């Protein structure tokens, strides 16, 4: 069925359906739940990992922070390619300096500051900026807005891992607590 439409028509078909403010608000909400999960987790157990081959709870939080900072930072800076060794090197310029055993309080503060700064910076860009196509790290061609959506989805994936860790410690994740509270 898709073959009936020219590619140009398909790429512009949904062009105005996803709004930047919706993506940014959603990312801020996701990040708030990531921070809440970090604050809910026992601070002395941040090196907990569900299995030997998975990241620790601390590593998940640091990865969310650093990857969101780097990828969204490169999008905001106008980078056209996130692929290859030069892009990898550039990602490092956006990294936040943290100690190896960074605590929950400092991580939470950095996570809050990062999403606030990045979303404010991105909100200043115009729709033409977000419609531009860039090369993602895997070679896929995406718009800047699609890349920002990817950043948000990436965080959701790792936040789900954090929620699993919460569950394994007998802690109800913040999203479930809100749902349960609404049912009362």
Predicted local distance difference test score (pLDDT) of residue 14: 52
Chain length of the chain: 184
Q: What is the CATH number of the domain that holds 162?
A: 1.20.120.450
**Is there a domain that residue 47 lies in?**
no
Residues 95-145 pLDDT 10s: 889 988 999 999 999 999 999 999 999 999 999 999 999 999 999 999 999
The rounded mean pLDDT for the chain is 91
* Tokens 């030069």, located at residue: 86
Residue 70 within any structural domain of the chain: yes
- Can you give the pLDDT at residue 7? 47
- What is the reported pLDDT for 159? 98
Does residue 8 belong to any structural domain of this protein? no
Residue 80 lies in a domain: yes
Q: How far is CA 22 from CA 17, 28, 131, 136, 181, in A?
A: 10, 10, 15, 22, 25
- 11, part of any domain: no
- At residue 123, the 3 state secondary structure works out as helix
Q: Are 110 and 65 in contact (CB under 8 A)?
A: yes
Residue 7 domain flag: no
Contact present, 87 and 137 (Cβ < 8 Å): yes
Q: Does residue 1 surpass a pLDDT of 50?
A: no
Residues 78-97 pLDDT 10s: 999 999 999 999 999 998 89
In a domain, 71, yes or no: yes
Question: Does 30 fall in a domain?
Answer: yes
pLDDT at 169: 97
User: Which range of residues forms the domain containing residue 35?
Assistant: 20-41+53-183
Question: In total, how many domains does the chain have?
Answer: 1
pLDDT in tens, 40-70: 999 999 999 999 999 999 999 999 999 999 9
Q: How far is CA 107 from CA 5, 22, 30, 71, in A?
A: 48, 25, 16, 18
Q: Which percentage of the chain shows pLDDT scores above 70?
A: 91
């Amino acid at each position: 069925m898709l073959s009936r439409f020219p590619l140009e028509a398909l790429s512009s078909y949904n062009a105005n359906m996803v709004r930047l403010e919706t993506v940014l608000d959603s990312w801020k909400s996701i990040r708030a739940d990531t921070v809440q999960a970090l604050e809910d987790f026992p601070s002395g157990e941040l090196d907990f990992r569900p299995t030997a081959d998975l990241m620790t709870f601390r590593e998940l939080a640091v990865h969310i922070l650093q990857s969101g900072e780097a990828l969204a930072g490169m999008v905001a800076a106008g980078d056209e390619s996130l692929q290859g060794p030069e892009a990898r090197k550039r990602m490092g310029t956006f990294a936040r300096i943290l100690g190896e055993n960074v605590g929950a309080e400092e991580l939470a503060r950095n996570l809050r500051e990062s999403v606030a700064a990045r979303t404010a910076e991105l909100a200043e860009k115009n729709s033409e900026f977000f419609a531009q196509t860039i090369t993602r790290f895997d070679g896929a061609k995406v718009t800047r807005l699609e890349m920002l959506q990817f950043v948000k989805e990436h965080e959701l994936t790792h936040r789900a891992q954090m929620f699993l860790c919460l569950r394994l410690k007998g802690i109800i994740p913040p999203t479930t607590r809100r749902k349960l509270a609404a049912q009362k």
